[in-house]
Amino acid sequence: MGVKAGFALKTLQWFIRGVQFLCCAVVLALFSYFLAVAAQHHFVIPTWTKAVEGISGIGVLYTFVGLLLLCCLAGHPFTSAIAIILDIAFVGAFIYVAQANRGGASSCDNTVDTLFGNRPATDDLGRGLPNFHQVCQMESAVLAVSIIAM
């Protein structure tokens, strides 16, 4: 393989891992916010939200390490095989994240189904907190980036 083709392949790998990292970071940031709000205001925290938080946290760690390993171990058969296996596992994990946030696929007007419950979009979570419309939009963002991460 020529030098230009090798450079192009490595650049493509960096781009793909970078997009994966950013997608995982967005999901982690939004669900960290959701969990912080829920814990601070004594809302019931569904188990699936903790699972999404864990998946996205591990995804951030995996993609960050993957970016670092591209510098020194790209193209080695053993590390490539492990990366393929983990990539397939994360596709399945982000299918779960997308499925868990399927409420974000619907309109965020009228009555919305969020992790904080099924309420009118204009209702507030509390003073200084987003309303249900904004929470629905955040779930829509998580749905979108989880599809991209797949």
- pTM, full prediction: 0.88
Q: Is residue 55's pLDDT more than 90?
A: yes
pLDDT of residue 74: 67
Q: Is residue 61's pLDDT more than 90?
A: yes
The ranges assigned to domains in the chain are: 3-149
For residue 23, give both structure tokens. Answer: 């997608």
Minimum mean pLDDT range among 85-89, 109-113, 138-142, 144-148: 109-113
> DSSP string spanning 40-72?
HTT----HHHHHHHHHHHHHHHHHHHHHHHHHH
Q: For residue 73, give the 3-state DSSP assignment.
A: coil
* Per-residue pLDDT reduced to its tens digit, 23-52: 999 999 999 999 998 888 888 888 999 999
Residue 72: pLDDT band (50, 70, 90) is confident
Q: Is residue 92's pLDDT more than 80?
A: yes
* Per-residue pLDDT reduced to its tens digit, 109-132: 888 888 888 888 888 887 888 888
> DSSP string spanning 86-133?
HHHHHHHHHHHHHHHTGGGGS-SSSEEEETTEEEETT-BSSTTS-BHH
Backbone angles phi, psi at 44, to 5 degrees: -70, 130
Q: Which neighbouring-strand residues pair with 63?
A: none
Mean of pLDDT over the chain: 87
Q: How far apart are CA 62 and CA 70, in angstroms?
A: 12
